[in-house]
Each structure stands twice: as structure tokens, then as C-alpha cells.
Amino acid sequence: MYEGAPNFPYPNRWWKMIEKYGITILYTAPTAIRGLMRFGNAWPNRHDLSSLRILGSVGEPINPEAWKWYYEVIGKSKCPIMDTWWQTETGGFMITPLPITPLKPGSATKPFFGIEVDVLDSDGKSAPAGEEGILVIKKPWPSIMRGILHDPERYKQQYWSKYSTMYEAGDSARKDKDGYIWVIGRLDDVIKVSGYRLGTAEIESALVSHSAVAEAAAIGLPHELKGHVIHCYVVLRAGYAASDSLVEERKKHVGHEIGPIAKPEKVNFMDSLPKTRSGKIMRRLLKARALGLPEGDKSTLEE
């Protein structure tokens, strides 16, 4: 255990620890992976990471670009990536690969033993393969949270009000034809632009798929005509500088990856994104700042 950021005093702190102590398992968040990606391959490549045997990912969906870097540069294409989906409320992994599960970059694969997970459409029916829907757990499990202290009503409303017999996770997801679950993001992180529903995760993934971008956050801001427009915040990789041409390039790149409707209205370059201490991007903070509103509770803010 150690205290402090993984890039202080230099962005090789984790790689140095792995080499020194022979660490075998590295389990971290996609935000941390993308944050270290921006410093390039030279920092991890100068250390012996051969003791690693398993890599893990948790906290939010991992985009394929970060998955590939994690697998190839850190795991040297030998370590499987256990991309896990769970919540504090669930008390343990809900969706996770097993040692024998074929991996798909960006998917947490399939439910763990005894866990029944589904993706439902707006009518509460199982959504067809490839279609986005609401992630639910269909029956209780041993480590399930039984309530919220001093607030039993909130527990019922937040997790059981929509489907009385199924636990609503608050995330959107889709299943593919092989039954793999692809978690898209929080339901409240969906931006509706001109009637189209766009997940912040897919916009951010499109941005990070560009070679110049290390990290990205997308938010929706009110617009008179479109309902909402997309504003993006970007952290560049080492060796790239912010410019107007880079802004236009980022917009076109998202439009090409997802479609014209997803093209951001504005792209802002930042040195770092506001995150919780567990590595999750605080999009509500970015939105409050953009709208000039109170920023609310910042007790979980990393810095």
C-alpha cells in the first residue's frame, strides 16, 4: 500500500513497484489506465513487468483503445484482463470473466456463477441483441445490500420501484449475440440530442480512440433547438498541444466514429479532469461549472 497519485513524482510509480516487489495482480480503473497512457510507452517499458499474471479493470466501462494498451504494453500480451462490473451495493462481482472465458475488449463478459443478469427495453422485456437497454439483476444473491441506513424508502425507490422483483442497477447496457454484456454507462449519463439518445461513454470512447487524446469527458448542456448539445473536455497525450485545428479534428473524429448527430458543439482542453479518489470522472462537476451553478458536495473529489 502507498499514498499518493500514480504519476507522482514520475509516471512510473506503479511500474517501479511492480518491478521492485514482484507484484502479480494489478487491478485498477480505466481512468487511471488512460491517465498513464498519455505519458507514452517509454515509462512502463523501462521496467521489468514480467511478474504480472492478471490485470483487472473496474469502476466504469473500459474503452477498447485503453484495453489494448493495458493488455499489450503492461501485460505484454500475456496477462488476461478481468474487466469486472459490480457496485458497492452488490457486495461482489456481478459480471466478470472466468479464467476460461474468451475476452472481448470493452465487455465485462458474462454474469458470475448464480447471478442472473438481463438488459430490458422500455416495456420491461428482454432487449434484442445489440440494442441498448436497462441493466437489471433478476433475482437476489448472497451479498445483496438489504437497505439504506435510516432511509428505507430511498432503498425501495432507487433500486426496486421500476421492477418490483428485479434489482435496477441504474446503468444502461446491451447484450451481443454471444450473450456478452456491454455496460454503456449510468442512465443519467445519457445525452438526448435532437431526439437521439447518446451515452457519454461512447462519445468519450470515440474521442480517446484518437492518437492525440489520453482522457475525455462528455456532458450535455441545454440548447433551445436541439434540447441538448454535447460539450467535451479532453486531456491530450504528451507531445500534443491544444489548437483550433485540433478542436475541429476532434469534432470530425467523433462524427466519423459515431455519426454526425454525436459531433460535439464544443471541445475544451484541460490538464486534468475532476475525479473521485476511486478514479471516476465527476461529470456533474463539469456540468455545474459550465452552467455557473453550485458545485455541490465535493468531499469525494481527488484534489
Residue length of the chain: 303
Summarize pLDDT for 173-227 with one digit per residue, the tens.
999 999 999 998 877 677 878 767 787 888 998 999 998 999 999 998 888 777 7
Percent of the chain residues topping a pLDDT of 70: 98
Which is more confident, 5 or 134?
134
Checking if the pLDDT of 55 tops 90, the result is yes
Tell me the pLDDT tens digit for each residue of 230-268. Answer: 999 999 998 899 999 999 999 999 999 888 888 999 999
Look at residues 101, 34, 96 and name the one whose alpha carbon lies nearest to residue 63.
Answer: 34
> What's the pLDDT tens digit per position in 39-51?
999 999 999 999 9
The span from the CA of 69 to the CA of 26, in Å, is 14
Stretch(es) of the chain classified as CATH 3.40.50.980: 13-90
CA 119 to mean position of chain CA atoms: 18
Q: What is the pLDDT of residue 300?
A: 65
| 31 neighbors 59 (Cβ within 8 angstroms) | yes
pTM score: 0.74
Residues of the chain with CATH 3.30.300.30: 186-291
Q: Where in the chain is the domain with CATH 2.30.38.10?
A: 117-179
303, pLDDT greater than 70: no
Question: What's the CATH number of domain 117-179, 3.40.50.720, 3.40.50.2300, 2.30.38.10, 3.40.50.1980?
Answer: 2.30.38.10
Buried b (16+ CB within 10 A) or exposed e, 71-110: bebbbeeebbbbbbbbeebbeebbbbbeeeeeebebbbbb
The pLDDT of residue 61 is above 70: yes
Q: Are strands 25-28 and 54-57 parallel, antiparallel or unpaired?
A: parallel
Mean pLDDT of the residues in the chain: 90
Model confidence at 296: pLDDT above 80: no
Greatest Cα pair distance in the chain = 57
Average pLDDT over residues 277-295: 85
Residue 147 has pLDDT above 80, yes or no: yes
Residue range 186-291, CATH number:
3.30.300.30
Q: With b meaning 16 or more CB within 10 Å and e meaning fewer, what string describes 182-199?
A: bbbbbeebbbebeeeebb
Whole-number pLDDT of residue 2: 77
In tens, the pLDDT along 75-132 reads: 999 999 999 999 989 999 999 999 899 999 999 999 999 999 999 998 899 999 999 8
13-90 has CATH 1.10.10.10 classification = no
